[in-house]
Amino acid sequence: MNWSIQLKNRHFQFSSLKEVLAKSSEEKTGDKLAGISAVSSLERMAAKVVLSEIQLKTFFENPVIPYETDEVTRVIYDDLNQTIYREIREWTVGELREYILSHQTGLQELSRISQGLTSEVISGVAKLMSSIDLVMASQKMRFQARCNTIIGEERRLAFRCQPNHPNDDPEGILYSLKEGLSYGSGDAVIGINPNIDTVESVSRLLHMTHEFMEKWKIPTQNCVLAHITTQIEALKKGVPISLMFQSLAGTQKGNEAFGLSKSLLDEGFELMKRYGTATGPNLMYFETGQGSEVSLDAHLGVDMQTLESRTYGFAKHWKPFMVNNVSGFIGPETLYDGRQMIRADLEDLFMGKMHGLPMGIAPTYTNHMYADQNDQEMAGMLTTLAGANFYMGVPGGDDVMLNYQDTSFHDDASLRELFGLRPLREFEKWLERMGIMENGKLTEIAGDLSIFD
Amino acid sequence: MKTLTEEVVEMVIKALEAQKSSSNEKREGPSLNIKFSEYSEIGVLNPRNRDSIVRAQAITPARIGIGRAGTRMRTSSYLRFRIDHAAAQDAVRKDVNEEILKQFNLPILKTIAADMDTYLMNLDAGRKLSDCSAEWLEKNIEKGNQVQILVCDGLSSSAVESNMPDLLPALIQGLKLKNITVAPPLFIKRSRVWVQDHVASIVNCDLIISLIGERPGLATAESLSAYMVYRPNEKTVEADRTVISNIHKGGLSPVEAGAYLSDLLAKMLISKCSGVQFSQKRYLETN
């Protein structure tokens, strides 16, 4: 298949859907590194024009990575609602954009067409959208999920308390956890990134957080972000887990590099239903982010944004409680600066919601990227405006184990105040009982970890 | 009579001159020396138990017990965070001070990464020597030694600057005491770990070790890693390399690291391998 177009007296030609998608992406270094991005600004626009004219069925009939060779493609296609797809297959991507933005289209309509859209189409339509387009469309969609508590309700914003320590010292982790809770952070999950990925060490941290939740009667969920195989082993030994974690990629090759397959995720999910401590039905926590396939050399010539969208199409299969987007975690070889990071965050939040997922955002930056705290805070405010379900909560914004910056306990509390949002329902009541919050505002004692002495 | 425009222009010129002269002038009055603690302090007002916060800050490097202004950070903790980020960014973007390289007579080689942007965005560019450097190496290096040491800026020039003065002499001395032959060390600008494979292919050594600046965190911008590989070839993968990280004043100290690395290299020379294969051999020997 190929397309050609005249723009400003220049001729442009594209010979595959993959090429149209890659060249119509907003500028990002990862696509350049992969050698697939547009070589001029006008070529980028030519690709966008071509993209706007392509019918949805063209995407459906030509997956960017073949069904036969890729498990991610298979999960996306097998889960698609054929009836809904047939209703909209004649639409062009340009028409889809206008349908999404129309005053007549709300959550009901978007949830319905979402079941008939392939991930490549969702990526494509985002490439025709500006920042305000993406925020307005994202605002229309909110998706709830329940583990022990319910995430995603109107006017509520949750946080994962991320109390990491460079050598997993339980006492050090506990202090950071107490500090986070005293700022109202931790209603999404208490989630520790372990430095040591062994069953013994991970089990110790799961027991510790579980016991702390029991002792203080905290309505939330615990999780240790080890590899899924480590968590499965721990679960089989009776270790208390309420939420199971895994990082995902948008190609089978990328997932293989993560040591992951559909059957492994199926196994983890089934075990969580049988042995997990949570009410459910949503028992999985996934992390994703633009660029992982590029850094794993598993992109197969597809652009970062489209692969991210495919990751959501894959993730959806296990009805997760949280999908956290961490674009910006890798470095300047994928997202160069604050501008590219903010754009990726807005695209990812929109694309995740178009897949019907309970999305959260981690606006992050590393120290070798051209981004700073100001960029991160802008990304945080914009995605809160766009209705993200949750953010991370890191002491002082500095993760001392993973060596990158993320939203701080202070940022969490500030985003709630700025937008008049409340913690998750049960957790808010707990904060009130603890005297940390009154009428949605932090009290004088907030920010003092020693209240848990 | 002057026009209004002329009058305005004259006023602006005068104002600019006044500004210039005042900035050149030596300031009168007492000079203030601002003292700023770079270590975290207890910022919580009236904590319920101050001892807990003292203990918490001693046991984790996380930024806790720092208090708040409304929901925002207090001024000093906000500034401290930005200072640490600034130091980390400088460590990535600044070149290693050439005085330090001269001090150790390190020849300066380059990769094909022509500038910082290319280096950061194109991972492969930092993995190959430039033609000119490869040619120089071919002509000038002593070949066939057991160990070749590389000093690489990697992602932190500060790591190289702060660790080399202690680490390099300790490492070389440690190797010489064991009668291991060491080629003169080289510095490679804008280099990544895999450049060691290219160098090894030219210098024909048994083991090559890269002392390379790590991606800086906020806690320290001076952390260095040592990557070692035994006779790399085109089939070499990550698992074939042995890595010792976290070398800096607050972690594995550079002097200790020098001694430790020379022991490790000696063992690898005997085992004739590195990476996972080397760890497995050692595990079998000790169990």
pLDDT of residue B23: 53
Mean pLDDT value of segment B90-105 = 93
More confident call, A198 vs B63: B63
Query: A172 and B65: CB-CB below 8 Å?
Result: no
Residue B221 has pLDDT above 80, yes or no: yes
Q: Which residues of B are less than 8 Å from A417 in CB distance?
A: 71
Of B49, B68, B122, the CB nearest to A450: B49
Measured CA distances, A149 to A155, A180, A286, A393 (Å): 15, 18, 17, 18
pLDDT tens digits for range B110-120: 999 999 999 99
Rounded CA-CA distance B156/B153 in Å is: 6
Query: B81 and A397: CB-CB below 8 Å?
Result: yes
Cβ neighbours of residue A127 closer than 8 Å, sequence gap 6 or more: A21, A24, A25, A26, A48, A51, A305
* Residue A244 β-bridge partners: A284
Ranges of each domain in chain B: 98-286
ipTM, two decimals: 0.95
B16: confidence class by pLDDT, cuts 50, 70, 90: low
B187 alpha carbon, distance to own chain's centre: 13
pLDDT in tens, chain A (453 residues): 899 999 999 999 999 999 999 999 999 999 999 999 999 999 999 999 999 999 999 999 999 999 999 999 999 999 999 999 999 999 999 999 999 999 999 999 999 999 999 999 999 999 999 999 999 999 999 999 999 999 999 999 999 999 999 889 999 999 999 999 999 999 999 999 998 888 999 999 999 999 999 999 999 999 999 999 999 999 999 999 999 999 999 999 999 989 999 999 999 999 999 999 999 999 999 999 999 999 888 999 999 999 999 999 999 999 999 999 998 899 999 999 999 999 999 999 999 999 999 999 999 999 999 999 999 999 999 999 999 999 999 999 999 988 899 999 999 999 999 999 999 999 999 999 999 999 999 999 999 999 999
Query: B60 and A33: CB-CB below 8 Å?
Result: no
pLDDT of residue A27: 97
**Lowest mean pLDDT: which of A261-265, B130-134, B282-286?**
B282-286
B219: confidence class by pLDDT, cuts 50, 70, 90: confident
Cβ neighbours of residue A33 closer than 8 Å, sequence gap 6 or more: A294, A333, A334, B121, B122, B123
**Is residue A290 exposed (0-12), middle (13-18) or buried (19+ Cβ within 10 Å)?**
buried
Q: How many CB pairs under 8 A join A and B?
A: 135
Residue B287 has pLDDT above 80, yes or no: no
Mean pLDDT value of segment B216-220 = 87
Alpha helices in A276-394 (DSSP H): 292-295, 304-315, 338-354, 373-385
pLDDT tens digits for range B176-189: 999 999 999 999 99
pLDDT of residue A41: 97
Ranges of each domain in chain A: 145-452
Of chain B, the end-to-end C-alpha distance in Å amounts to: 101
pLDDT of residue B36: 87
- The CATH classification of domain A145-452, taken from the options 1.10.357.10, 3.20.20.300, 3.20.20.70, 3.60.20.30: 3.20.20.70
Of A397, A413, A450, the CB nearest to B52: A450
CATH 3.40.50.11240 fits domain B98-286: yes
Of B47, B62, B155, the CB nearest to A176: B62
Compute φ and ψ for A238, nearest 5 degrees.
85, 20
Residue that is written with structure tokens 């910022």 in the block = B43
Query: A398 and B73: CB-CB below 8 Å?
Result: no
Q: Among B71, B92, B218, B246, which would you mutate to test the A interface (most chain A Cβ atoms within 10 Å of its Cβ)?
A: B71
B236: confidence class by pLDDT, cuts 50, 70, 90: confident
**Residue A181's closest chain B neighbor by CA?**
B64
The answer to whether the CB of A151 falls within 8 A of the CB of A158 is: yes
Q: Which residues of A are less than 8 Å from B82 in CB distance?
A: 373
